Amino acid sequence: MISSDSSKLKTVSIVVPVYNEIENIKIACDEIRSALDASKWNYDIIFVDDGSNDGSQNVLRTLAEDGGSGDKVKAVFLRRNFGQTAAMHAGIQLATGDYIVTMDGDLQNDPADIPSMLEKLEDDYDLVFGWRADRQDKFWSRKLPSMLANKLISKVTGFKINDLGCTLKAIKSEIAKDLELYGEMHRFIPILASNLGARSIEMEVNHRARIYGETKYGIGRSVRVVLDLITIQYMSKYFSSPMKLFGLMGIAVAFTAFLSLICVVVMKLFWQFDITGNPLTYLTVLSIILAGQFFILGIIGELSVRIYYATGDKKSYKVRELVNFETPGA
């Protein structure tokens, strides 16, 4: 049971990436405040504008500078459109709450689900991610590709999940800030968090049809998700030691070269085959070259990992301006 004494409650930061959602921003802000004011959580709302060009920035600035909102509403303006993942990463890194909630700014996620998700974090979970069981989207362009992608990702990664694309998530800050997000990685947050040892649970949430604006996602995004899935698998198993992957591949190809060479030698000695026109000769040469390339890739990968861990913090976004933060400005 959550205490009624708000001073004992942990703080919550709501991160909302925004791109051309001028009609939805004010409504989303009001709904979030209504849901959390009723639950008596200490919270702030961080809207991250991802280079909007429809006037969304003016609405966000008004909300953040409004004296009536106090320090509840904050705005982050990125220098250009970096993508939803980068915008979400910016909001997470700037958040100061003990818990961080991420959600879309298109009103399809229901803020009324946030208090229940936060209660599950209080039950010693590190991450609660939403499942849009009754998804209000077009079947052929949105729901079917998502269903197929979820089944593929669940099968490949071994991580059981029904809806990897739901942006509504509640995460403990120490886990969220350790996530490395770029590309389309925001949808893989549950898997990335699991790799960090997070205890997670999936929760059914309400999903609403879009009323204002146009969706920024199309069926072409599925291709990028599949490519990021390959990246996730590589990072999960071989990121810290790439030679384990490329070295094994090099050994396998080198063994093929050895077998084909033995066959070429035997065919020449016992049956007088012409080795210059023998396909196995070409296979031997090609396999030796490929084996060498795999070993070189493994070495380059190892060096890249060392460089990665030796360099400072890198970000996939650039902030132009912060509004209503303790340290204003870019």
Query: How far is Cα 9 from Cα 11, in angstroms, rounded to an integer?
Result: 6
Domain that holds residue 272: 243-308
Of 238, 264, 292, the one marking the end of a domain is 238
For residue 61, being part of any structural domain is answered with yes
Helix 25-39, helix 56-65: angle, nearest 10: 30
Q: Are both 13 and 157 inside the same structural domain?
A: yes
Q: Are both 31 and 137 inside the same structural domain?
A: yes
- How many structural domains are present in the chain? 2
Q: Are both 226 and 182 inside the same structural domain?
A: yes
Q: Are both 131 and 20 inside the same structural domain?
A: yes
Give pTM, 2 decimals. Answer: 0.75
The per-residue b/e assignment along 156-190, b for 16 or more CB within 10 angstroms, e otherwise, is ebebebbbbbbbbbbbbbebbeebebbbbbbbbbb
Query: How far is Cα 44 from Cα 64, in angstroms, rounded to an integer?
Result: 11
Give kind and range of the element (H or E) at residue 33: helix 25-39
Query: How far is Cα 17 from Cα 84, in angstroms, rounded to an integer?
Result: 6
User: pLDDT of the chain along its 330 residues, tens only?
Assistant: 444 444 467 899 999 999 999 999 999 999 999 999 888 789 999 999 999 999 999 999 999 987 556 668 999 999 999 988 899 999 999 999 999 999 998 889 999 999 999 999 988 899 999 988 777 667 665 666 667 777 777 777 777 888 877 889 999 999 999 988 877 778 889 888 988 899 999 999 998 888 876 665 555 556 666 666 777 777 677 776 788 788 888 899 999 999 999 998 888 888 877 777 788 888 999 999 998 898 898 888 777 766 765 666 667 789 999 998 876 444
For residue 72, being part of any structural domain is answered with yes
For residue 219, being part of any structural domain is answered with yes
